[in-house]
Amino acid sequence: MAIEIRVHIEDEVVRRALADPELVAGPIRRFLNKSALSVEAGAKERAPVDTGRLRSSITHQVASAEARIGTRLIYAPFVEFGTKPHWPPLRAMQPWARRHGFPKGNAGAFLVARAIAQHGTKPQPYLRPALQASLPDVRRFLEDAAKEIEGRWSRHG
């Protein structure tokens, strides 16, 4: 599960950038890296912690004109968005039930699974709120990149 920050570059800037790739590439890359790090840090702060696996798996990637922030953990979307009532596998519930003081064996896992079957799980958003909280920083980083590009543009006339 990931969120993306994308940069759309106007045609005239693309034409100039083809002649001088560093005209926009460096500033855009710095903007995306700073923005992604800001969102990543916020997501790690907000991620619920049981074993710490979700929090430690949150990372980012920057490629050309986009940054992706998120995790590859299969259960991450279920944490972010919650679930409808369903019967989870007892085997998956056993470690959680044990860590949270439920009876050992299948009895504790069954109690947890039954509650999920009746109520689902509540959303615990961490990525979307991290992006929202980071927007002032992202805007500032974008303004910095624009100023840098404008300065380079005027020097290369």
Say if residues 67 and 35 touch (Cβ distance below 8 Å). Answer: yes
pLDDT one digit per residue (tens) for the chain, 157 residues:
777 777 666 666 666 666 666 778 888 889 999 999 999 999 999 999 999 999 999 999 998 778 999 999 999 999 999 999 999 999 989 999 999 998 887 899 999 999 999 999 999 999 999 999 999 999 999 999 989 988 877 776 5
Residue 62's H or E segment, with its range, is strand 59-63
Provide the 3-class DSSP secondary structure of residue 57: helix
Q: For the whole model, what pTM was predicted?
A: 0.85
Closest CA to 96 of 115, 68, 119: 115
How close are the terminal C-alpha atoms of the chain, in Å? 42
Alpha-carbon distance 131 to 138, whole Å? 9
